[in-house]
Amino acid sequence: MESNSFSWKKLALVLGLTLLVGIGEYAVAYQFNDGKITQKVIGMVFLGMALPSVFIGGVMRMFKPSLQRYFGIMIGICLTIGLLLILS
């Protein structure tokens, strides 16, 4: 039986997964923009980093609902940072 208490280890693992996605997206953006990375491009990378968490969090809702909150936290962080970078 899994505990419903908050775990920093699980949050760190989800953060690591999100960072790996972000590194891949940054590399693709760098390649397609001929090395020109602006603030808005970085904002879009952060918005893209939220997308896998949406899908994985949705699947986790069916199998392990207690893990969904960690993906929700990452979605919130990535969307907030992305929108701040795009709109500022």
Interval 25-70: pLDDT, tens? 999 999 998 888 999 999 999 999 999 999 988 888 888 888 888 9
Residue 3 lies in a domain: no
**DSSP string over 54-77:** HHHHHHHHHH-HHHHHHHHHHHHH
In a domain, 1, yes or no: no
Tell whether the torsion through CA atoms of 81, 85, 86 and 88 is positive or negative.
positive
Number of separate domains in the chain: 1
Residues 71 and 60 sit within 8 Å (Cβ to Cβ): yes
* Residue 3: pLDDT band with limits 50, 70, 90: low
Does the pLDDT at position 1 exceed 60? no
- What domain range includes position 48? 19-87
Angstrom distance (rounded) from CA 21 to CA 34: 20
Percent of the chain with pLDDT over 90: 66
Q: Is residue 36 part of a domain?
A: yes
77 pLDDT more than 70: yes
Res 50: pLDDT: 93
* Residue 46 vs residues 12, 21, 37, 41, 51: alpha-carbon distances, Å: 17, 10, 13, 9, 9
